[in-house]
Amino acid sequence: MPELNLSEIIILIALMSVVTYLPRVFPVLILSRRSLPEPVERWLSYVPVAVLAALLAPALFAPQGTLDFAVTSNPVFWVSIPVFALAFLTKNLFATVLFGMTMIALFRYIVS
């Protein structure tokens, strides 16, 4: 692999910054002066939940790449049930995170 000099590295970092920054800025600039239709706003409100579910599902249901519901090999799944219930009932992020950390620590202490 050829060696890059300092000016090439700076140019590459600048170009990567532009490529990363532009897709985030253009929608904000374009949509900040416009009002979206109600169905579109309602649909967009589900995007964060869908992304979170897509990120969490593999870690909860298949932590080693295969479906696993065993108590000893996948304690995160079992701890997530009361944690999700608390999150649903309280809608308090701090309490949910603290409860989840406490539950997984207790679970690992008791099972191990």
Residue range 5-48, pLDDT digits in tens: 999 999 999 999 999 999 999 888 888 888 889 999 999 999 99
86 alpha-carbon distance from chain centroid:
19
DSSP 3-state assignment of 71?
Answer: coil
Q: Is the pTM higher than 0.85?
A: no
- Region 61-89: mean pLDDT is 90
pLDDT value at residue 110? 87
Please give the C-alpha separations between residue 5 and each of 2, 10, 11, in angstroms, as whole numbers. Answer: 10, 9, 10
pLDDT value at residue 84? 93
Within 8 A by CB and 6+ apart from 69, the residues are 61, 77
**DSSP output for 53-70:** HHHHHHHHH-TTSS----
Dihedral angle computed from the Cα positions of residues 53, 55, 61 and 67, in that order, rounded to the nearest 10 degrees: 120
pLDDT value at residue 28? 86
Asked whether the predicted pLDDT for residue 80 surpasses 80, the reply is: yes
Q: How confident is the model at residue 108 (pLDDT cuts 50, 70, 90)?
A: confident
The token pair at 38 is 């109600």
pLDDT value at residue 90? 95
